[in-house]
Amino acid sequence: MKTYPVTRRDVLMKCAAMGSLVLAPSLSLAESVAMWERQERASKKPTPPNDIGPFYKGQAPQTSHLRAPGDPGLPLAVSGLVFSTNGEVLPHSTVEVWQADHLGHYDLKGYRYRATITADDSGKYSFDTVMPGHYPGRVGQHIHYVVKAPGHKPLTTQLYFATDPAFGGDPDHNYRRDPLLHTRELIRPVTIAGDPKEIQALVNFEIVLERL
């Protein structure tokens, strides 16, 4: 039997004709279908949450430079946009990050490798740090996040790295090796930039917050 592709537009038109899609009196059918399609195209999946862990400290300093000059470890620059699930960027959202140093130690007395970052007018946040080390009790290297924006649910999550030896080069299949990691989505590819004397890892981590 020959089949024909049915578009979202066809389905909505049929629903309207059959009475299972009811429009507000102020909306035309053509307008409504166009808006529906636009909204669906723009919608983004919320970033999965992940445990806050035992090492969070509030009131981390406002800075985007977690790495001090001369700090050992692989320099790492993380950046990304903060979005709402409707696809709009969220300017001035607050991004709190904290992580272990390159040897896997958290600073519990002070605020090394802890920061509060405010996204700019275009919803972009960025910070310089080092690749976090492994530490006992955790399998994967990670950076903790708490992200907040007005009108949106606060998100607690973690960023992981596709280059982590724990994933054996195949994070798609091996992400469950970290018992706290329930989704592949939080693992990001790593780009190496710079010259041989001074290389830097670059990671993009887009955040999508759910509306309240």
Binding piece for Fe ion, criterion CB under 5 A, among 25-33, 53-61, 83-91, 184-192: 53-61
For position 53 contacting Fe ion by CB under 5 A, the verdict is yes
Read off the DSSP letter of residue 78: E
CB of residue 11 vs Fe ion: minimum separation in angstroms? 45
Rounded CA-CA distance 81/91 in Å is 9
* Rounded Cα–Cα distance for residues 24 and 195 (Å): 60
Looking at beta carbons only, is 84 or 99 nearer to Fe ion?
99
Q: Residue with CB nearest Fe ion?
A: 53
Q: How far apart are the first and last CA of the chain?
A: 46
When asked if residue 46 is in the footprint of Fe ion (CB under 5 A), the reply is no
Tally Cβ neighbours within 10 Å of residue 130.
21
CB 164 within 8 A of CB 140: yes
Number of shown-chain residues binding Fe ion (CB under 5 A): 1
Q: How far is the CB of 104 from Fe ion (least distance, A)?
A: 9
Q: Which stretch binds Fe ion (CB under 5 A): 45-53, 59-67, 88-96, 179-187?
A: 45-53
Q: Which stretch binds Fe ion (CB under 5 A): 8-16, 46-54, 65-73, 116-124?
A: 46-54
**Residue with the two structure tokens 């007005």:** 150
Q: What is the closest distance, in whole angstroms, from the C-beta atom of residue 135 to Fe ion in the complex?
A: 7
- Taking CB under 5 A as the rule, does residue 87 contact Fe ion? no
DSSP per-residue codes, 93-135: -EEEEE---TTS---SSS-TTEEEEE--TTSEEEEEEEPPPP-
Q: How far is the CB of 150 from Fe ion (least distance, A)?
A: 27
The dihedral formed by the CA atoms of 40, 46, 48 and 53, expressed in degrees to the nearest 10: 180
Which lies closer to Fe ion via its Cβ, residue 180 or residue 190? 180
Q: How far is the CB of 168 from Fe ion (least distance, A)?
A: 21
CA 157, 210, 10: angle at the middle one, nearest 5? 130
For Fe ion, which is the closer residue by CB, 83 or 113? 113
Positions that interact with Fe ion (CB under 5 A): 53
